[in-house]
């Protein structure tokens, strides 16, 4: 009987050495170790083995089984490596003699307006700050005088993470961190991507850019706010543009304003881009609420300041005549190609 085991082992070794691919190995595995495999069936012969040899026979068949399984695993690894190497060597090669494409990329229109606005504010002594996209309830709401269950939260639903953090709904979420970083006096702008859980239309996206600005110093007043807003708009549009300022409510400013511009797509007549009103809400602003200054570690008795939240994506629409805000996130290269020479 032991010769039978040895012969089977020799036969297996010979066959496995000849395998050149994974399929062949699998065939061998089934042929020797499968339900009706040659090694498996040897065990069935145990009943015909004389009693005194049964123990040794069983042990030897099990040893052969283990030997075959190990050898198969080893061979699988060798073949896998060889197959990977073959794939790499046969990978598509490039014909370097072909003429190259002369197409070049271009800046996204939002990047273009962002840079313009940054330049304008930098020339007036503002620093440009960066802030995260994922933040927490405190920074996005509570530090901005919007306690839990405040009705103002309904205006800005967002996407929550399992760990309780959230995607920021507005760049105002950075106000507290920047106040704590620099203290007063300070002048800073901070552009960033914002997210809102709301349905989209020609002037609303669920992912869009804003640029926040803050100026805090002694004796800062609404006149300073209006001056900076006018300056920014006249430099961006380089033409007279109708602007209107109306009262607006935001818990983090007092008083607060909505700053709208006349829609540049329809010239103020009314179209889908401005929801047929002729005006587009562009840059709400106001005097920073004393509670917000306090939360940022700044004494409201000593300092005052203004803040604004410019809709950068909407500004790009108005600046470049993009009728539907969704085109700006579409990744449609044909639409974006138009800005190559800006």
In the 3-class helix/strand/coil scheme, how is 163-214 assigned residue by residue? Answer: CCCEECCCHHHHHHHHHHHHCCCEEEEEEEEEECCCCCECCECCEEEEEEEE
Among 42, 215, 282, 295, binds ligand FA5 (CB under 6 A): 282
64, 143, 285, 318: which one binds ligand FA5 (CB under 6 A): 285
Cβ at position 240, least distance to ligand FA5 in Å: 20
Interaction between residue 172 and ligand FA5 (CB under 6 A)? yes
Residue 29 or 187: the one with the smaller Cβ distance to ligand FA5 is 187
Q: Does 274 bind ligand FA5 (CB under 6 A)?
A: no
Contact call for residue 186 and ligand FA5 (CB under 6 A): no
Work out whether 251 is an interface residue with ligand FA5 (CB under 6 A): no
**Contact range with ligand FA5 by CB under 6 A, out of 22-30, 51-59, 105-113, 277-285:** 277-285
Subset of residues 11 to 50 that bind ligand FA5, contact rule: CB under 6 A: none
Among 204, 231, 323, 326, binds ligand FA5 (CB under 6 A): 204
Residue 238 φ/ψ region, left for φ over 0, alpha for ψ in the -120 to 50 degree band, beta for the rest = left
Task: Give the number of residues in contact with ligand FA5, rule: CB under 6 A.
Answer: 24
The stretch near ligand FA5 (CB under 6 A) out of 125-133, 184-192, 200-208, 224-232 is 200-208
Comparing CB distances to ligand FA5, the nearer of 188 and 307 is 307
Nearer to ligand FA5, 26 or 324 (CB): 324
Residues binding ligand FA5 (CB under 6 A): 170, 172, 196, 198, 204-205, 208, 210, 212, 250, 253, 256, 281-282, 284-286, 307-309, 311, 313-314, 325
């Amino acid at each position: 009987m032991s010769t039978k085991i040895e012969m089977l082992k020799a036969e297996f070794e010979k066959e496995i050495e000849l395998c050149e691919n994974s399929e062949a190995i699998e065939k061998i595995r089934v042929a020797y170790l499968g339900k009706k495999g040659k090694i498996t069936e040897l065990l069935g012969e145990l009943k015909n083995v004389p009693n005194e040899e049964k123990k040794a026979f069983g042990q030897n068949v099990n040893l052969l089984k283990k030997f075959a399984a190990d050898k198969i695993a080893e061979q699988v690894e060798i073949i896998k490596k060889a197959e990977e190497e073959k794939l790499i060597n046969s990978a598509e090669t490039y014909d370097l003699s072909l003429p190259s494409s002369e197409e070049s990329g271009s800046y996204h229109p939002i990047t273009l307006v962002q840079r313009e606005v940054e330049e304008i504010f930098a020339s007036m002594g503002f620093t440009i700050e960066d802030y995260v996209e994922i933040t927490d309830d405190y920074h996005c709401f509570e530090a901005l005088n919007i306690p839990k269950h405040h009705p103002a939260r309904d205006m800005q639903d967002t996407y929550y993470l399992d760990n309780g953090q959230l995607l920021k709904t507005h760049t105002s979420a950075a106000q507290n961190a920047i106040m704590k970083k620099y203290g007063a006096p300070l002048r800073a702008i901070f552009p960033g991507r914002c997210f809102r859980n709301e349905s989209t239309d020609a002037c609303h996206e669920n992912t869009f850019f804003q640029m926040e600005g803050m100026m805090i110093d002694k004796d800062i007043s609404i006149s300073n706010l209006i001056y900076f807003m006018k300056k920014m708009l006249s430099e961006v549009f380089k033409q007279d543009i109708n602007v209107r300022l109306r009262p607006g409510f935001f818990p983090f400013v007092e008083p607060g304003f909505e700053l709208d511009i006349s829609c540049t797509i329809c010239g103020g007549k009314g179209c889908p881009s401005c929801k047929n009103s002729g005006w587009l809400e562009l840059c709400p602003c106001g005097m920073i609420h004393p509670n917000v200054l306090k939360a940022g570690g700044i004494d409201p008795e000593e300092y005052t300041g203004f803040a604004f939240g410019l809709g950068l994506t909407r500004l790009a629409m108005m600046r470049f005549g993009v009728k539907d805000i969704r085109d700006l996130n579409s990744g449609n290269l044909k639409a974006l190609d138009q800005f190559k020479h800006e």
